[in-house]
Amino acid sequence: MEEVKEEKFGSRKSTLKDLFLKAKIPFITNVWVVTCRYKINSDKNSRYLVCIESNLFDSNYESIVNKINNNVSVIHTKFDEVKKNVIVTNIKSKQTGELNYTQFKNRIIELTKCKYVDSYALGSSESTPLSRFFRENMGKGFALTDIDFYLTEKELFIEEKNFIKSNKGYLGVGQCISFKEIINDIFVNVKLKIICIADGKYYVSDLININCNNTKVISGWGKMVEYEVEPLNETELLNLIK
């Protein structure tokens, strides 16, 4: 099993965020999925944990909780990185407690029926507290995945990418598999679209049309999943997602 990789992309500027705000499209961010590695726990009813990371759990986040498989645990987290404590709320039971990092780590292992496998990587200062916590404390027995945006009115996940080559889009193999698991096992009747932005143009694909086994080695990136994209202008894109 590979070591935990250092975080490299936490500071990427989002074009879509500005577009959504300008077009008044409501969205939420920082919805994370913790996944126990398949070799440790292959049971789709217990290997996942949804973490909502925000200062306030409001009605926008309640809308996405209603789309989550009943078997999957859901928590809200608020970090104090100075004290190394986390205020954790179980969304289903409404129970709240303040945990230190060791207690939080053990609780995640318990909820996902997983195991701690020793490894360490430094989290990016540009990333979120939850992301940093995972890279520095949870080892390599887990994967932590987020999708950039959830459009609350459309009930649609959007992942923003900025890499296009010869009019094809590319995803990391692990990310592709994680996205498929998220849509197939965790969220009920929710779709995921990938929007690639290059040279001011938009290229769109639906995850359901992407085959994670369709791989190609890309110089500087390694083994990637290649997929077809549909070019759209800004008006066409907004009509698609509004």
| Predicted local distance difference test score (pLDDT) of residue 12 | 63
Nearest to 109 by CA among 84, 139, 86: 139
Report which DSSP code applies to 55: S
Query: In whole numbers, what is the pLDDT of the chain averaged over residues?
Result: 92
> DSSP H helical segments within 42-172, as ranges?
59-65, 101-111, 129-137
HSE-up of residue 188 (Cα within 13 Å, Cβ side): 9
Q: Which of 51-55, 119-123, 174-178, 204-208 has the lowest mean pLDDT?
A: 119-123
- List, for residues 70-90, the tens digit of each pLDDT value: 999 999 999 999 999 999 999
pLDDT > 90: percent of the chain: 83
Question: Left if phi > 0, otherwise alpha if psi is -120 to 50, otherwise beta: which for 222?
Answer: left
User: Do both 123 and 202 map to the same domain?
Assistant: no
Residue that finishes a domain, picked among 146, 177, 203: 146
* Residue 68 domain-assigned (yes or no): yes
User: Do both 111 and 214 map to the same domain?
Assistant: no
Residue that finishes a domain, picked among 125, 146, 167: 146
* Residue 180 domain-assigned (yes or no): yes
- List, for residues 2-52, the tens digit of each pLDDT value: 444 443 444 568 999 999 999 999 999 999 999 999 999 999 999 999 999
User: Do both 52 and 34 map to the same domain?
Assistant: yes
- List, for residues 151-173, the tens digit of each pLDDT value: 999 999 999 999 899 999 999 99
- List, for residues 101-112, the tens digit of each pLDDT value: 999 999 999 999
User: Do both 42 and 67 map to the same domain?
Assistant: yes
pTM, two decimals, is 0.90
| Predicted local distance difference test score (pLDDT) of residue 41 | 98
User: Do both 138 and 154 map to the same domain?
Assistant: no
**Residue 40: domain span:** 30-146
Number of independent structural domains in the chain: 2
